[in-house]
């Protein structure tokens, strides 16, 4: 069984591991970069040009349920196990994830959560991501050696994954809190969604905590005390069940990571997220003060 590790690791810790040549079967580093299509950034091409030495690339659009019409939905246990096994990751491997976002973190928390939901707790996020790694003048490489394939056994914790029906039922039962990690303007309905055929707004009763608010200007996760204050001020009770959402289930995991740092390790994710909710929900379940076919302006 994998050892328990810190959810956040510093650049210096990873630099020491790289220098000591510890990256290998017991320590794998993954570039998990992913960008919204409208940003026109190609994460895989960027990885080939520059990555942390010894890193492999994890593609959330490949390690997913390709039968779903929704973006990068969680794959089956078998698909996840095969995918990470091909990256040289076993059940005793410590995995460190990062991305190259200008925020310091964007998609890395999603892959951190994916490992955890499939039963692998030995996974950490590099604090500050490649942005700070590069800013600190630490080594990068364009070399890549495919890791030797190994066996990984996955076990999905289904209680950490919420469906559309779960969220719909929760409107009445209120069994869990729902936090939305999209930018505030999209949550309120005054800024456009980045995906075509989707208007902004939010799930009734959900709480807005934009993912970027968990990060400092440098791109590092705020200290635990500050995170706890943020949850309290937002009206989130970390002693009660919590589900997180966003546009497509990626930045929601920033909230899960922050809650984990505050002692709430069992946060669930609405995997279909706003992309699914907007498509399936009746108009009165799309709350918007701005524009869109479901907003009061058009009704």
Please tell me the CATH code under which domain 159-298 is placed: 3.40.250.10
Pick the catalytic residue: 63, 64, 243, 246?
Answer: 246
- List of the chain residues with pLDDT < 50: 1-2, 292-299
pLDDT at 38: 83
Q: In sequence order, what are the residues at sequence separation of 6 or more whose Cβ sits closer than 8 angstroms to the Cβ of residue 67?
A: none
Rounded to an integer, what distance in angstroms lies between the CA atom of residue 104 and that of residue 13? 17
Per-residue pLDDT of 146-179, as tens digits, reads 999 999 999 999 999 999 999 999 999 999 999 9
Give Rg (Cα) of the chain. Answer: 19
Spatial contact of 178 and 243, defined as CB atoms under 8 Å apart: yes
Query: What's the burial of 284, exposed, middle or buried (CB within 10 Å: 0-12/13-18/19+)?
Result: exposed
pLDDT at 39: 84
Give the residue from 281, 293, 279, 213 showing the smallest Cα distance to 71: 279
Q: How many CB atoms lie within 10 A of CB 196?
A: 7
> What mean pLDDT, rounded, does the chain reach?
94
Rounded to an integer, what distance in angstroms lies between the CA atom of residue 52 and that of residue 96? 11
Helix (H) or strand (E) holding 29: strand 27-31
**Helical spans, DSSP H, in 24-154:** 43-49, 77-85, 108-117, 129-135
Sheet holding 8-9, edge to edge: 8-9, 123-126, 94-98, 27-31, 56-57
Q: Which 8-state DSSP code applies to residue 64?
A: S
CATH topology for the 8-156 domain: Oxidized Rhodanese; domain 1 (3.40.250)
Q: How many CB atoms lie within 10 A of CB 24?
A: 13
pLDDT at 291: 54
Phi, psi of 186 (to 5 degrees): -70, -35
Told to judge if 63 belongs to the known catalytic residues of this protein, a careful annotator would answer no
pTM of the model: 0.95
Length of the chain: 299
pLDDT at 149: 96
Spatial contact of 128 and 166, defined as CB atoms under 8 Å apart: no
Residue spans per domain, the chain: 8-156, 159-298
């Amino acid at each position: 069984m994998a050892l328990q590790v810190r959810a956040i690791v510093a650049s210096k810790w990873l630099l020491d591991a790289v220098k000591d040549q510890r990256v290998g079967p017991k320590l794998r580093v993954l570039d998990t970069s992913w960008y919204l299509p409208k940003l026109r950034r190609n994460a895989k091409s960027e990885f080939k040009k520059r990555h942390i030495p010894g890193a492999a690339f994890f593609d959330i659009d490949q390690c997913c349920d390709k039968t779903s019409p929704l973006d990068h939905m969680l794959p089956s246990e078998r698909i996840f196990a095969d995918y990470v096994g091909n990256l040289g990751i076993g059940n005793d491997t410590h995995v460190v994830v990062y991305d190259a976002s200008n925020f310091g973190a964007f998609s890395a928390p999603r892959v951190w959560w994916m490992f955890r939901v499939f039963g692998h707790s030995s996974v950490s996020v590099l604090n500050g991501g490649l942005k700070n790694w590069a800013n600190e003048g630490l080594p990068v490489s364009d070399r890549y050696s495919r890791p030797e394939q190994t066996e990984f056994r996955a076990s999905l914790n289904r209680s950490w994954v919420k469906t559309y029906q779960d969220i719909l039922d929760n409107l009445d039962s209120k069994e869990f809190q729902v936090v939305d990690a999209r930018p505030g303007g999209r949550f309120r309905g005054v800024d456009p969604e980045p995906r075509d055929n989707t208007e902004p707004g939010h799930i009734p009763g959900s709480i807005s905590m934009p993912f970027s608010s968990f990060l400092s200007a440098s791109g590092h996760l705020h200290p635990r005390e500050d995170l706890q204050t943020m949850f309290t001020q937002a009206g989130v009770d970390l002693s009660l069940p919590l589900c997180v959402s966003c546009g497509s289930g990626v930045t929601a995991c920033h909230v899960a990571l922050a809650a984990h740092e505050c002692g709430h390790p069992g946060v669930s994710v609405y995997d279909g997220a706003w992309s699914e909710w907007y498509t399936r929900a009746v108009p009165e379940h799309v709350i918007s003060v701005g524009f869109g076919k479901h907003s009061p302006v058009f009704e």
